Amino acid sequence: MAQTAQLTDTPADPSPAPPTSALLLDEGPSGEQWPVAPRARAGRRNLREKLWAGLNGWKHAIRGDSSFFAHGYRVVLVALTAAMLGIDATGWIILVMAGCSIFIAELNHSAVDTLARAIGDPEEPRLKVAREIAAGGVLVAVVGSAIVVGVIFTLKFGELLRG
Protein backbone atom coordinates (compact mmCIF):
# COMPACT_ATOMS: atom_id res chain seq x y z
CA MET A 1 0.00 0.00 0.00
CA ALA A 2 1.67 3.15 -1.19
CA GLN A 3 1.15 6.37 0.64
CA THR A 4 1.15 9.61 -1.26
CA ALA A 5 1.98 12.89 0.34
CA GLN A 6 -0.44 15.65 -0.41
CA LEU A 7 1.30 18.95 -1.06
CA THR A 8 -0.67 22.08 -0.53
CA ASP A 9 0.34 25.60 -1.34
CA THR A 10 -0.85 27.84 1.43
CA PRO A 11 -0.53 31.52 0.61
CA ALA A 12 1.09 33.84 3.11
CA ASP A 13 -2.07 35.94 3.06
CA PRO A 14 -5.10 33.84 4.06
CA SER A 15 -7.56 36.26 2.43
CA PRO A 16 -9.45 34.68 -0.47
CA ALA A 17 -8.33 35.51 -3.99
CA PRO A 18 -10.75 37.53 -6.10
CA PRO A 19 -12.69 35.61 -8.73
CA THR A 20 -11.08 35.46 -12.16
CA SER A 21 -13.79 37.65 -13.60
CA ALA A 22 -12.78 40.42 -11.19
CA LEU A 23 -9.23 40.57 -12.55
CA LEU A 24 -8.43 43.38 -14.93
CA LEU A 25 -6.97 42.53 -18.31
CA ASP A 26 -4.01 44.25 -19.90
CA GLU A 27 -2.75 43.96 -23.45
CA GLY A 28 0.51 42.05 -23.81
CA PRO A 29 3.28 42.82 -26.33
CA SER A 30 1.73 40.70 -29.09
CA GLY A 31 -1.86 41.79 -28.46
CA GLU A 32 -3.04 38.92 -26.23
CA GLN A 33 -4.87 39.70 -22.99
CA TRP A 34 -2.89 39.19 -19.78
CA PRO A 35 -4.54 39.13 -16.36
CA VAL A 36 -3.40 41.89 -14.06
CA ALA A 37 -3.39 40.74 -10.46
CA PRO A 38 -4.63 43.09 -7.77
CA ARG A 39 -1.84 45.00 -6.13
CA ALA A 40 -0.52 43.36 -3.01
CA ARG A 41 0.87 45.51 -0.26
CA ALA A 42 4.44 44.75 0.68
CA GLY A 43 5.07 43.55 4.18
CA ARG A 44 5.40 46.31 6.71
CA ARG A 45 8.91 46.95 7.98
CA ASN A 46 9.86 48.70 11.17
CA LEU A 47 12.30 51.60 11.36
CA ARG A 48 15.35 49.40 11.96
CA GLU A 49 14.56 47.21 8.93
CA LYS A 50 14.03 50.29 6.74
CA LEU A 51 17.32 51.78 7.92
CA TRP A 52 19.14 48.49 7.28
CA ALA A 53 17.60 48.24 3.79
CA GLY A 54 18.72 51.81 3.04
CA LEU A 55 22.27 51.11 4.20
CA ASN A 56 22.35 47.93 2.11
CA GLY A 57 21.15 49.96 -0.87
CA TRP A 58 24.03 52.41 -0.37
CA LYS A 59 26.47 49.50 -0.13
CA HIS A 60 25.22 47.90 -3.36
CA ALA A 61 25.23 51.24 -5.20
CA ILE A 62 28.75 52.16 -4.08
CA ARG A 63 30.12 48.74 -4.94
CA GLY A 64 28.38 48.66 -8.30
CA ASP A 65 29.18 52.12 -9.64
CA SER A 66 32.43 54.06 -9.60
CA SER A 67 30.57 57.37 -10.02
CA PHE A 68 29.93 57.43 -6.29
CA PHE A 69 33.65 57.80 -5.63
CA ALA A 70 33.95 60.61 -8.18
CA HIS A 71 31.02 62.48 -6.66
CA GLY A 72 32.18 61.63 -3.14
CA TYR A 73 35.61 63.18 -3.47
CA ARG A 74 34.14 66.29 -5.09
CA VAL A 75 31.72 66.66 -2.19
CA VAL A 76 34.65 66.34 0.24
CA LEU A 77 36.60 69.01 -1.70
CA VAL A 78 33.59 71.35 -1.61
CA ALA A 79 33.16 70.75 2.14
CA LEU A 80 36.85 71.45 2.84
CA THR A 81 36.73 74.62 0.76
CA ALA A 82 33.55 75.76 2.50
CA ALA A 83 35.14 75.15 5.89
CA MET A 84 38.27 77.12 4.95
CA LEU A 85 36.19 80.01 3.62
CA GLY A 86 34.01 80.12 6.73
CA ILE A 87 30.67 79.61 4.99
CA ASP A 88 27.75 80.51 7.25
CA ALA A 89 25.02 78.10 8.39
CA THR A 90 22.64 78.96 5.56
CA GLY A 91 25.37 78.31 3.00
CA TRP A 92 26.17 74.96 4.63
CA ILE A 93 22.52 73.91 4.51
CA ILE A 94 22.32 74.78 0.82
CA LEU A 95 25.61 72.98 0.08
CA VAL A 96 24.48 69.85 1.93
CA MET A 97 21.19 69.86 0.01
CA ALA A 98 23.07 70.24 -3.27
CA GLY A 99 25.36 67.33 -2.42
CA CYS A 100 22.44 65.18 -1.34
CA SER A 101 20.61 65.86 -4.60
CA ILE A 102 23.59 64.45 -6.50
CA PHE A 103 23.66 61.28 -4.40
CA ILE A 104 19.88 60.84 -4.68
CA ALA A 105 20.08 61.15 -8.47
CA GLU A 106 23.01 58.74 -8.56
CA LEU A 107 21.15 56.21 -6.39
CA ASN A 108 18.16 56.39 -8.74
CA HIS A 109 20.45 55.95 -11.73
CA SER A 110 22.06 52.95 -10.07
CA ALA A 111 18.65 51.40 -9.33
CA VAL A 112 17.46 51.82 -12.92
CA ASP A 113 20.75 50.44 -14.24
CA THR A 114 20.55 47.43 -11.90
CA LEU A 115 16.96 46.71 -12.97
CA ALA A 116 17.88 47.01 -16.64
CA ARG A 117 20.68 44.49 -16.20
CA ALA A 118 18.40 42.15 -14.23
CA ILE A 119 15.64 42.25 -16.87
CA GLY A 120 17.90 41.36 -19.76
CA ASP A 121 20.16 43.06 -22.23
CA PRO A 122 20.73 46.61 -20.90
CA GLU A 123 21.45 47.78 -24.47
CA GLU A 124 17.94 46.83 -25.61
CA PRO A 125 16.47 50.10 -26.93
CA ARG A 126 13.73 50.57 -24.31
CA LEU A 127 16.06 49.72 -21.43
CA LYS A 128 18.75 51.96 -22.87
CA VAL A 129 16.28 54.87 -22.97
CA ALA A 130 15.41 54.29 -19.29
CA ARG A 131 19.09 54.23 -18.39
CA GLU A 132 19.74 57.41 -20.35
CA ILE A 133 16.85 59.18 -18.63
CA ALA A 134 18.31 58.23 -15.25
CA ALA A 135 21.73 59.49 -16.39
CA GLY A 136 20.04 62.73 -17.45
CA GLY A 137 18.72 63.08 -13.89
CA VAL A 138 22.27 62.81 -12.58
CA LEU A 139 23.41 65.42 -15.08
CA VAL A 140 20.70 67.86 -13.97
CA ALA A 141 21.62 67.34 -10.31
CA VAL A 142 25.35 67.82 -10.97
CA VAL A 143 24.91 70.95 -13.09
CA GLY A 144 22.44 72.46 -10.60
CA SER A 145 24.73 71.69 -7.68
CA ALA A 146 27.74 73.14 -9.50
CA ILE A 147 25.84 76.36 -10.06
CA VAL A 148 24.81 76.51 -6.39
CA VAL A 149 28.38 75.86 -5.23
CA GLY A 150 29.74 78.45 -7.67
CA VAL A 151 27.30 81.11 -6.49
CA ILE A 152 27.94 80.46 -2.79
CA PHE A 153 31.73 80.45 -3.20
CA THR A 154 31.69 83.54 -5.46
CA LEU A 155 29.62 85.47 -2.93
CA LYS A 156 31.97 84.43 -0.12
CA PHE A 157 35.10 85.32 -2.14
CA GLY A 158 33.58 88.72 -2.90
CA GLU A 159 32.82 89.24 0.78
CA LEU A 160 36.39 88.28 1.75
CA LEU A 161 37.92 90.59 -0.89
CA ARG A 162 35.87 93.56 0.26
CA GLY A 163 37.28 93.01 3.70
What's the distance, Cα to Cα, between the start and end of the chain in Å? 100
**Is 65-162 assigned to CATH 2.60.40.10?**
no
pTM of the predicted protein model: 0.67
Q: Following DSSP, what letter does each residue of 45-98 receive, concatenated?
A: --HHHHHHHHHHHHHHHHHH-THHHHHHHHHHHHHHHHHHHT--HHHHHHHHHH
Per-residue pLDDT of the chain (163 residues; tens, 9 = 90+): 444 444 444 445 555 554 555 455 666 667 776 666 555 566 788 899 999 999 998 888 888 877 888 888 899 999 999 999 999 999 999 999 999 999 999 999 999 999 998 988 889 999 999 999 999 999 999 999 999 999 999 999 999 999 7
Q: How many CA atoms lie within 13 A of 18 on its CB side?
A: 11
Domain boundaries, the chain: 65-162
